[in-house]
C-alpha cells in the first residue's frame, strides 16, 4: 500500500519474498524463534529457496518407521498408491462438477486408474500418473472455453502461456504450504514414497501435494479465470517465458489464502476444518499408519 506498517509477528506463519530484500542474522534469529518460514522467488515467480526454522516436532522412532516403509517396496507402494488414488478422485471430481460433455476423458482416466493398483514398481506407478495427468489436462480447453485464455498442452520449463504459468505458480504455493504443515508434525519431509527421496529437496512435500493440487489449486485457477478475476493483462512475456506480474501474484495469493482458510464440516471430527488443516490431518494419518495404529486412507473431498 506504498507505506510502512507493523505486522504482529504472532500472526505470521510464512513470509513469501518476491522483491529485492536485504536480511541480517537478527532477522533470521527472530523468525526462527517464532517458527516462521521464509520463501524466496526469482523475478519470474519461480521458487528459489528459503529459510526453514528449526524443527520442533521430532521423533527418531517416526523417522525409523518412515525410512523402513520407504525401503520396503510393498509398504512404499501402498502409501504411494493411496496418494494417487486421492489425486485421481479429485481430478474426476473437478471434471464432473463442470457438467461438460467430457465422458470420454472420464473413461480414459478410469481405465488408467485401474492400472495404478496393478503397478509393481514406483517407476511404473509414476508412468501411469503421468498419463492420467496428461489426460486430465486435456479437459482444460473445455473449462476455459468462454474466457480469453487458451491452452494447448502442459509446459513447465519454461511456462509459455498464462494457464501454464498459473498452474506452475499455484503448484509452487502448494509445495510450500505442505512443507509448513509437515514441519508441524514429526514426519521427515525428505523421506518420501511416491517421488524418489533425494539430497536436495523435500520430496515428501511433492507426495502430499499430489492430493491437494487437484483439490485446491486447480479449482481455484479455473474459478479465477472464468470469473474474470485474472485477465491476460496480469501476465508478462519475456524470452518465451510467461509469468504472473506483480498485480497478478497479489490477486492469486489473496484468493489462495482465502481458499486455505475456508472451512468444511469434518465428518469424523464433527467440527469445521480449514483446507490448510486438512493437510496437517493427512500428515497425522500417515504417522498413525507408520506406527501401525491405523491403516492410511487418504482424504477424498465429499462436499
Q: How far apart are CA 248 and CA 231, in angstroms?
A: 9
Please report how many Cα atoms fall inside a 13 Å half-sphere around the Cα of residue 93, on the Cβ side: 18
Region 202-206 average pLDDT: 94
Q: How far apart are CA 198 and CA 230, in angstroms?
A: 36
pLDDT at 54 over 90: no
Region 154-171 average pLDDT: 93
Going by C-alpha positions, the residue among 59, 176, 73 that lies closest to residue 121 is 73
Angstrom CA distances, 246 to 53, 130, 234, stand at: 27, 31, 8
pLDDT, one tens digit per residue, over 119-132 is: 999 999 999 999 99
SS3 assignment, position 279: helix
Prediction pTM value:
0.91
> Average pLDDT of the chain?
94
SS3 assignment, position 69: helix
Amino acid at each position: 500500500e506504498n507505506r510502512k506498517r507493523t505486522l504482529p509477528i504472532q500472526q505470521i506463519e510464512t513470509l513469501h519474498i518476491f522483491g529485492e530484500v536485504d536480511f541480517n542474522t537478527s532477522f533470521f534469529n527472530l523468525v526462527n524463534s517464532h517458527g516462521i518460514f521464509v520463501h524466496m522467488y526469482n523475478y519470474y515467480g519461480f521458487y528459489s529457496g528459503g529459510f526453514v526454522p528449526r524443527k520442533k516436532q521430532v521423533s527418531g522412532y517416526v523417522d525409523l518407521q518412515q525410512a523402513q516403509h520407504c525401503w520396503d517396496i510393498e509398504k512404499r507402494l501402498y502409501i504411494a498408491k493411496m496418494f494417487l488414488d486421492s489425486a485421481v478422485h479429485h481430478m474426476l471430481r473437478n471434471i464432473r462438477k463442470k457438467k461438460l460433455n467430457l465422458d470420454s476423458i472420464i473413461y480414459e482416466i478410469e481405465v488408467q486408474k485401474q492400472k495404478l493398483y496393478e503397478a509393481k514398481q514406483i517407476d511404473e506407478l509414476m508412468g501411469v500418473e503421468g498419463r492420467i495427468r496428461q489426460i486430465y489436462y486435456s479437459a482444460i480447453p473445455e473449462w476455459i472455453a468462454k474466457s480469453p485464455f487458451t491452452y494447448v498442452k502442459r509446459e513447465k520449463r519454461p511456462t509459455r502461456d498464462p494457464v501454464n504459468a498459473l498452474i506452475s505458480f499455484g503448484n509452487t504455493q502448494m509445495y510450500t504450504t505442505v512443507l509448513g504443515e509437515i514441519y508441524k508434525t514429526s514426519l521427515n519431509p525428505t523421506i518420501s514414497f511416491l517421488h524418489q527421496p533425494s539430497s536436495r529437496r523435500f520430496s515428501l512435500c511433492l507426495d502430499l501435494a499430489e492430493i491437494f493440487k487437484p483439490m485446491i489449486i486447480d479449482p481455484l485457477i479455473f474459478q479465477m479465470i472464468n470469473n474474470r478475476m485474472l485477465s491476460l493483462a496480469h501476465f508478462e512475456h519475456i524470452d518465451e517465458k510467461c509469468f504472473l506480474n506483480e498485480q497478478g501474484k497479489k490477486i492469486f495469493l489473496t484468493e489462495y489464502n482465502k481458499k486455505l482458510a475456508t472451512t468444511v464440516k469434518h465428518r469424523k471430527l464433527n467440527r469445521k476444518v480449514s483446507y490448510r488443516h486438512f493437510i496437517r490431518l493427512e500428515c497425522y494419518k500417515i504417522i498413525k499408519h507408520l506406527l501401525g495404529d491405523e491403516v492410511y486412507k487418504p482424504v477424498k473431498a465429499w462436499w
